[in-house]
């Protein structure tokens, strides 16, 4: 089994897609006016408008109501990303910090309030974990 994608639901598709295009540097593929994907080598970030949830059933997903999932991206240099993203991000949760498990991380919220973590493995053990 392979994780194919993470899908988030939003009331403001254009704003969220544009935000993630700027964060990742990946252009979204738009299949319909209410659905887009940012396709990366490791996983796809899918973004659907609230209208798409009608296909799954009433109240199957609520936009801007995530309090459990962190969307994580491994980057080459988290400190450089922090400098690059500082003007784009309005809600910083954590400035560059080395975590106890060896990753250097920044955390912020996207326009819908979803928590995003960009990290760079820093210790030998953390680097080894992601090199296989």
Report the distance separating Cα 127 and Cα 132, nearest Å.
9
Contacts of residue 116, Cβ cutoff 8 Å, sequence gap at least 6: 23, 70, 71, 72, 73, 107, 108, 109, 110
Q: What is the CATH number of the domain that holds 131?
A: 3.10.180.10
**3-class DSSP state of 9:** strand
Same domain, yes or no: 29 and 71: no
**3-class DSSP state of 100:** coil
Contacts of residue 40, Cβ cutoff 8 Å, sequence gap at least 6: 24, 26
Residue 130: predicted pLDDT: 84
Same domain, yes or no: 84 and 131: yes
Residue bearing the bigger pLDDT, 58 or 132: 58
Same domain, yes or no: 1 and 49: yes
Same domain, yes or no: 6 and 50: yes
Return the bridge partners of 116, or none: 71, 108
Same domain, yes or no: 70 and 126: yes
What's the pLDDT band for 132 if we cut at 50, 70, 90? low
Same domain, yes or no: 3 and 49: yes
Same domain, yes or no: 99 and 39: no
| pLDDT of 23 over the 90 cut | yes
Query: What range does the domain containing 5 cover?
Result: 1-57
Residue bearing the bigger pLDDT, 59 or 29: 29
pLDDT single digits (tens) 75-118 = 999 999 999 999 999 999 999 999 999 999 999 999 999 999 99
């Amino acid at each position: 089994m392979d994780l194919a994608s993470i899908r988030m639901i939003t009331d403001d598709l254009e704003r969220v897609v544009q935000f993630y295009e700027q964060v990742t540097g990946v252009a979204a593929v738009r299949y319909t006016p209410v659905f887009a994907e940012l396709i990366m080598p490791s996983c796809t970030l899918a973004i659907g408008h609230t209208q798409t949830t009608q296909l799954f059933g009433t109240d199957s997903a609520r936009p801007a109501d995530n309090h459990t999932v962190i969307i994580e991206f491994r980057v080459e240099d988290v400190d450089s990303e922090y400098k690059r993203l500082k003007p784009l991000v309005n809600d910083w949760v954590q400035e560059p910090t080395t975590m106890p498990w060896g990753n250097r991380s920044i955390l912020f919220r996207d326009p819908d309030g979803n928590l995003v973590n960009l990290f760079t493995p820093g210790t030998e053990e953390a680097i080894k974990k992601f090199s296989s």
